[in-house]
A and B are shown apart, each in its own frame.
Chain A
Amino acid sequence: MKSPPASLTGVASALAALTLSGCITAGANPEDPYEDFNRQMFAFNDGLDRAVLEPVAKGYRAVTNEPVREGVGNFTSNLNEPLTFVNHILQFQIPDAGATLGRFVVNTTVGIAGIFDPASAIGMQRTKEDFGQTLGKWGVGGGPYLVLPFLGSSNPRDAFGMGADLALNPLNYPQFESDAEIRTGIAALGGINAREGAIEAIDEVRNQIDPYTTVRRLYDRTRAQDIANAPIQPNQTEKLPESELDF
């Protein structure tokens, strides 16, 4: 059996190195203490996306149709079900773990390797859990917002969680011919498929006054909701200034 990948310590080491080298220094914004570094990474990732990922995603859209893309999405999502199952167990969400296992079995067999999603059709709804959410459920705070090169929005807890997920996913362990290449290929296909689905949404984000702030706020809210498994509503009951009340 393969030993867990080194990514777990790799991410932590990279973060430590960046901090010690002075690339990440805390700034004045308490909501985003590493804003300067984050914005540089955001700009880097955005440049890379515009140059490579977005054109590939548009090309993928041009040569495929919706049923094909849906099938690819189902296939890659199905491969994440074992990881979701493990994290449901770690969060003591036993009924959800059972449902996830059921989904995986039904979709892998009846759904032909997960290309189709008959499980949703019979009322077994998809859930998605990762180790970052598990840590959040255990009471571990996210820490400061971070934008990682290539990977995008994160925080120390979720970055650690990403590494842990590689070790926790049961599907990462079976060995077969060209297993590394196949896993990399599937991950790439999943990434392109996901990027295709977000073409309009990312276009919309780029047309905001400050796309970086939009993405940061969206990430914070989405992660909080994922951990709580419930909507988180922004505070709309702040005290109004006198000027606004004066009518």
Chain B
Amino acid sequence: MKMFKKLGMRSLATAIVLVAATPVAFADKKSEAYVQANANSVLQVLNDKSLSQAAREAKFGEYMNKFAHMPTIARRVLGVNARSVSEPDFNKYYKTFEHYALEVYQVHFDQFRGEALRVVGSKDDDDRRSKVETVIKSSQTGKDTKVYWDVLKSQDGASYRVRDVGIDLGGSVLWLAQEQQAQFESFLNRNGGNIDKLIGRINVLLADMEQRKKDGRGSAFKQNG
């Protein structure tokens, strides 16, 4: 009886050790380091008072392009329409999209400028894709906000790129590129897939954003900062 008990306890102990040693999901620490380093660079640019507004915008764009590869995002948000867009049309659209997307990201990230972002964990969706969870203080609420990064690893494993950013809004995550895709697809579906109309619509929004900046309403770069 004692022998059976001992065996039982040993098996149980072994099982516990095996379960503890096997991660529920393999977390890629390099993707976490990638987000930590690059996201903080982006946020520091937004807070760099030594640069003029134009220089900050240019540098922000440069960092975002390296961090997130804007042409891929531009194509992705077209959804199924991406397949039927010609290269010349795509290039025309991309110029406008890049400007618009960078303005949108600036507005969303502006509440975090000057703050340091810290990685709190990550979860792999598959062998190339992971979600990195970070926390950063928002100047709007004064509270810590969770920001998620959808990170894709290259085929050779040597580099990474961010494909979407999710901002926690009271428990629900708003994925920026995913929301843009839903809107762009809907707009194109209702306008016969006409890319010129989409470009026109984006330009209207850009003009409004520029006016808001001049008026000091919800601008990414406030005149005094």
Whether B166 lies near A236 (C-beta < 8 A) is: yes
Residues 166-192 (chain B) with a chain A CB within 8 angstroms? 166, 171-173, 175, 178-180, 182-184, 186-187, 189
Identify A236's interface contact among B76, B150, B201, B218, CB under 8 A.
B150
Whether A209 lies near B187 (C-beta < 8 A) is: yes
Chain B's closest residue to A237 (CB) is B125
Closest beta carbon of chain B to A229's beta carbon, Å: 10
A200 at the A/B interface (Cβ < 8 Å)? Answer: yes
A122 at the A/B interface (Cβ < 8 Å)? Answer: no
Chain B's closest residue to A28 (CB) is B189
Whether A232 lies near B201 (C-beta < 8 A) is: no
Whether B154 lies near A247 (C-beta < 8 A) is: yes
Whether B173 lies near A244 (C-beta < 8 A) is: no
For A233, list chain B residues within 8 Å (CB): 172-173
Chain B's closest residue to A231 (CB) is B171
Whether B183 lies near A236 (C-beta < 8 A) is: no
A243 at the A/B interface (Cβ < 8 Å)? Answer: yes
Whether A232 lies near B186 (C-beta < 8 A) is: no
Whether A247 lies near B161 (C-beta < 8 A) is: yes
Identify A208's interface contact among B75, B173, B183, CB under 8 A.
B183
Given A233-B173, A236-B150, decide whether A213 and B183 contact each other with a Cβ distance below 8 A. Answer: yes
Whether A234 lies near B173 (C-beta < 8 A) is: yes
Closest beta carbon of chain A to B141's beta carbon, Å: 13
- Bound CA span A241–B186, Å: 19
Closest beta carbon of chain B to A234's beta carbon, Å: 6
Residues 200-238 (chain A) with a chain B CB within 8 angstroms? 200, 203-204, 207-210, 212-214, 217, 221-222, 225, 230-234, 236-237
Whether A214 lies near B179 (C-beta < 8 A) is: yes
Given A237-B125, A244-B72, A247-B155, decide whether A209 and B202 contact each other with a Cβ distance below 8 A. Answer: yes
A240 at the A/B interface (Cβ < 8 Å)? Answer: yes
Closest beta carbon of chain B to A153's beta carbon, Å: 15
Whether A213 lies near B186 (C-beta < 8 A) is: yes
Whether A231 lies near B186 (C-beta < 8 A) is: no
- Bound CA span A237–B184, Å: 20
B98 at the A/B interface (Cβ < 8 Å)? Answer: no
A245 at the A/B interface (Cβ < 8 Å)? Answer: yes
Whether A244 lies near B152 (C-beta < 8 A) is: yes
- The secondary-structure label for the interface of chain A is loop
B196 at the A/B interface (Cβ < 8 Å)? Answer: no
B113 at the A/B interface (Cβ < 8 Å)? Answer: no
Given A209-B202, A234-B178, A240-B129, decide whether A225 and B171 contact each other with a Cβ distance below 8 A. Answer: yes
Closest beta carbon of chain B to A200's beta carbon, Å: 7
B131 at the A/B interface (Cβ < 8 Å)? Answer: yes
Given A214-B183, A244-B163, decide whether A236 and B171 contact each other with a Cβ distance below 8 A. Answer: no
Closest beta carbon of chain B to A205's beta carbon, Å: 11
Given A236-B164, A244-B72, A247-B154, decide whether A213 and B182 contact each other with a Cβ distance below 8 A. Answer: yes
Whether B184 lies near A209 (C-beta < 8 A) is: yes
Q: Which of A222, A232, A243, A244 has the most CB of B within 10 A?
A: A244
For A232, list chain B residues within 8 Å (CB): 172
Chain B's closest residue to A239 (CB) is B126
Whether A225 lies near B172 (C-beta < 8 A) is: yes
For A207, list chain B residues within 8 Å (CB): 205, 208-209
Given A225-B171, A234-B175, decide whether A209 and B183 contact each other with a Cβ distance below 8 A. Answer: yes
Whether A231 lies near B164 (C-beta < 8 A) is: no
For B178, list chain A residues within 8 Å (CB): 234, 236
- Bound CA span A234–B69, Å: 22
Given A207-B205, A208-B183, A247-B161, decide whether A221 and B172 contact each other with a Cβ distance below 8 A. Answer: yes
Closest beta carbon of chain A to B220's beta carbon, Å: 13
- A selection of 29 A-B contacts at a CB cut-off of 8 Å is A29-B189, A207-B208, A207-B209, A208-B183, A208-B205, A209-B180, A209-B184, A210-B183, A210-B187, A212-B186, A213-B187, A214-B179, A217-B182, A225-B171, A230-B171, A231-B173, A233-B172, A236-B131, A236-B150, A240-B152, A241-B76, A243-B82, A244-B76, A244-B163, A245-B152, A245-B155, A247-B152, A247-B154, A247-B159
Measured CB to CB, the residues of B under 8 A from A are 69, 72, 75-76, 82, 125, 128-129, 131, 150, 152, 154-155, 159, 161, 163-164, 166, 171-173, 175, 178-180, 182-184, 186-187, 189, 198, 201-202, 205, 208-209, 218
Q: Which 4 A-B residue pairs are closest in the complex by CB-CB distance?
A: A231-B171, A210-B183, A209-B183, A213-B186
